[in-house]
Amino acid sequence: MDFQTAIRTCLRKYVTFSGRASRPEYWYFVLFIFLGQILLGIADNILFKTGHVTSGPGFMGYASEGGPLGGLFSLAVLLPAIAAGARRLHDQDKSAWWLLIAFIPLIGSLVLLYFMVQPSTPGPNRFGGQRTDPADYPANPAQPWGAPQPPAPPAQDDYAQSNLPKVPRD
């Protein structure tokens, strides 16, 4: 899934809390929100003078009080962001109620971040059918996650494979 398709999908499913969302769909939408906030923050500062630069000996900082464009954008993407997060958790066969763990300071956000970066549940789960995104599946379907890997070929003597003349070892 590419960037534009992910944005269209998440905005089309504005308040759809059922179904599944692949990792690219979710993370491209998060990137869209992040970039939108940066661009609209710059536009708010230019149009409405909502920020100011502070400086002192050895430091310089920028503070923004927010602005109407960034605020409206935040309100517009609030429900789609929550819905995409719920669908992303569903893709791992987890309930959307896990989103509430973010209210636990620091630890909750880290746990939620860990959940969001995990691969999809292979095959259908209780929230929907098979994911078709190749980024969420192993390259070799005969070796699913956690399956033992075939044994490595026996180590061969690199010395015997060399084209250099053999020097006797003592």
pLDDT tens digit string along 90-107? 999 999 999 999 999 999
- 84 within a domain of the structure (yes/no): yes
In a domain, 117, yes or no: yes
Whether 169 is in a domain gets the answer: no
Tell me whether residue 146 is in a domain: no
Handedness of CA 25, 30, 32, 33 (dihedral sign): positive
**C-alpha separations of 163 from 35, 61, 131, 160, 170 in Å:** 55, 62, 50, 8, 20
What single-letter DSSP state applies at residue 60? E
Residue 16 domain-assigned (yes or no)? yes
Q: What is the dihedral of CA 32, 37, 40, 46, to 10 degrees?
A: -140
Please compute the mean of the pLDDT values over residues 76-90 and round it to a whole number.
97
The pLDDT value recorded for residue 33 is 98
Give me the mean pLDDT over the 2-16 stretch: 94
Residue 109 tokens read as 């956000």
Stronger pLDDT, 61 or 142, i.e. the higher one: 61
Which pLDDT value is given to residue 122? 85
Judge whether 26 lies within some domain.
yes
pLDDT category, 71, cuts 50, 70, 90? very high
How far is residue 150 CA from its own chain's centroid? 31
- In total, how many domains does the chain have? 1
Percent of the chain with pLDDT over 70: 78
Give yes or no for residue 137 having a pLDDT over 60. Answer: no
d(CA 149, CA 130): 24
Cα-Cα end-to-end distance for the chain: 60
Instruction: Kindly list the distances between the CA atom of residue 121 and the CA atoms of 7, 12, 22, in Å, as whole numbers in the listed order.
Output: 22, 24, 10
Give the structural domain span for 93.
3-121
Is residue 133 situated within a structural domain?
no
pLDDT in tens, 20-29: 999 999 999 9
Q: Within a domain: residue 147?
A: no
User: Is pLDDT above 80 for 153?
Assistant: no
